[in-house]
Amino acid sequence: MNPWRAFRDLSISRKLVSAMVGTTLVALLLAFTIVLALDQRTFRDRIGHDLDVLADVIGSNSTAALSFHDVAAAQEALGALSASSNVVGARIFDAGGAPFAEYQRRGARVPLPPRPPASGLLQGDQWISNSQPIELDGQGIGTIYIQRDLVDLHERARSYMLLLAGLLAATLLVSVAIASRVCRTREARRLCQVTSPAMRSRPRWRNRPAR
C-alpha cells in the first residue's frame, strides 16, 4: 500500500494530528541525537585526560625502577592500575624499547604491543590507549603504555537510548492527546467543514486507454 496515498485519504483532523505528532517526534529525535553525540565526545575526551594523568603518575613512580633495572618495583607501580576497573592492560618499556614490566587486569588477556607505540592517544571501537615517554632529568629512560576498555562509554550510550525510547513513547502519547484536543476545537472543526467538500470534489484523474 502506498503510504502517501493512505495519508492523502485521511480526514483533515487525522492529518493535523499526524503532522503535529510527526513534527514533535522528529524534533525530539534530532535534538537527542545531537545531545548524545556531544556527550559521547565529551566523555571520550574525559577518558583521554584520565589516561594522561594515569600515565604521568605511573611513569613518575617508575623512574627509579627503570634507572636501577628493578622489575619488581616497576610491577608494583603498575599494580596501582588495579584501582581502575576499566584499565585492561599496561606495559613499561625500557630505553631500548624492550618490554620491561607489564600489568594485566585479572581475567583479561590483552595483546599488548611488543614495541613502544607513538606517543599519544589511540582509539578503537572497544578500547582506547595512551603511550607516553618516561623521562628523568629531561632524558628519556622508557615508555609507559596503558590500555582501557570502553564499557562505561557504551553503557552510557545504551542508557541514553533507553531514555530516548521512554521519551519518545511519552511524547507520542502526550502529542496525540494534545493534537486530538486541538482538532476538536471550533476552529479546527470549521477548517474540516470548509476543506472536506473541496477534498470530496477534487477531480480524480484516471489513465484512459489510448484509441
Integer Rg of the chain from CA: 31
Q: Are 84 and 146 in contact (CB under 8 A)?
A: no
Does 183 have pLDDT greater than 90?
Answer: no
| 182 pLDDT tier (thresholds 50, 70, 90) | low
Question: pLDDT at position 166, please?
Answer: 87
Q: At what angle do helices 71-79 and 12-61 cross, to 10 degrees?
A: 150
Say yes or no to pLDDT of 20 above 90: no
Give the pLDDT score at 16: 67
Kindly provide the residue ranges of all beta strands, DSSP E only, lying in 61-168, ordered along the sequence: 87-94, 99-104, 120-123, 127-136, 139-149
- pLDDT above 70 covers a percentage of the chain that reads 76
What pLDDT score was predicted for residue 24? 79
d(CA 196, CA 201): 9
State the Cα–Cα distance between residues 37 and 30, nearest whole angstrom: 11
Mean pLDDT of 7-27: 70
Rounded mean pLDDT of 114-124? 92
| pLDDT tens-place string over residues 126-142 | 899 999 999 998 899 99
Residues of the chain with CATH 3.30.450.20: 47-150
Indicate the class that CATH gives domain 47-150: alpha beta
